[in-house]
Structure 1
Amino acid sequence: MRDIMGMMGKVKEMQAKMEAMQAEIAAMEVEGTSGGGLVTVRLTGKGTLVGVKIDPSLLKEDEAEILEDLIVAAHNDAKGKADAAMAEKTKEMTAGLPIPPGFKMPF
């Protein structure tokens, strides 16, 4: 019976850690750039786009397609950084737990 109570305590502790980590990830902002810094985007840890910064030299009518590509590239850069930060935080939190490779946490 003690083992079950101990296990329940660990489950509650893990749940509290996961909730804290989710709040930390939601509050986190990452920045992605492309075109050598000509386009910069900011995303929340959950992937919501919160800002775009475009160098004025790109605001030419005949360069719209280039600008569109740079925005997409900057977004992908920021999203990759957010995903890497989330994976690192998850790894830190679950250290020592027997979680199968490739298992996705529910957030």
Structure 2
Amino acid sequence: MKSLDEMIAAAQNAAQTIQTQMEQAQATLDKLEVEGVSGGGLVTIRATAKGRIIGVNIDESLLQPSEKQMLEDLIAAALNDARSKADSVSNAEMSKMTQGLPLPAGFKLPFGN
């Protein structure tokens, strides 16, 4: 039977391994890109899976003063679409990392989110 010290050391090693994997997963998420689209492609937003906005593309046909409100609505819709896709990619990547870990149902990593 393992001593208490050996079990504590094993738990500390497992925690360090999980921490390293989390750091690697977070770095990966900042490299994965998603694209939010609205208005049938008139507005596109590129973002990382962590939700950092990389770029915005607006079709020139929307650059009319009379289209201001519609453009603002389309930008908001594209941002929300990009955020939703970023969340999906992030969740998929994090579930890959936590596969096989003996975590209780509903337990979410990372702890701060």
Per the normalisation by structure 1, the TM-score is 0.87
Report the aligned-residue RMSD: 1.7
Partner residue of 1:53?
Answer: 57
Partner residue of 1:29?
Answer: 33
Mark the structure with the bigger radius of gyration. Answer: 2
Give distance in 2, aligned partners of 1:18 and 1:104. Answer: 8
Corresponding residue to 1:14 among 18, 33, 37:
18
Partner residue of 1:99?
Answer: 104
After the TM superposition, list the runs of 4 or more consecutive aligned residues in structure 1 that deviate by more than 4 angstroms: none
Give distance in 1, aligned partners of 2:57 and 2:95. Answer: 32
Offset, 1:71: 0.5
Q: How does 1:68-83 map to 2 (within 5 A)?
A: 68-83=72-87
Corresponding residue to 2:66 among 53, 62, 65:
62
- Structure 2 spans left out of the alignment, 5+ residues: none
- The aligned amino acid for 1:101 is G
Percent identity, aligned pairs only, is: 42
Per the normalisation by structure 2, the TM-score is 0.83
Aligned residue for 2:96, secondary structure, equals: helix
Aligned length: 107
Partner residue of 1:42?
Answer: 46
Give distance in 2, aligned partners of 1:102 and 1:39. Answer: 36
- The aligned amino acid for 2:79 is H
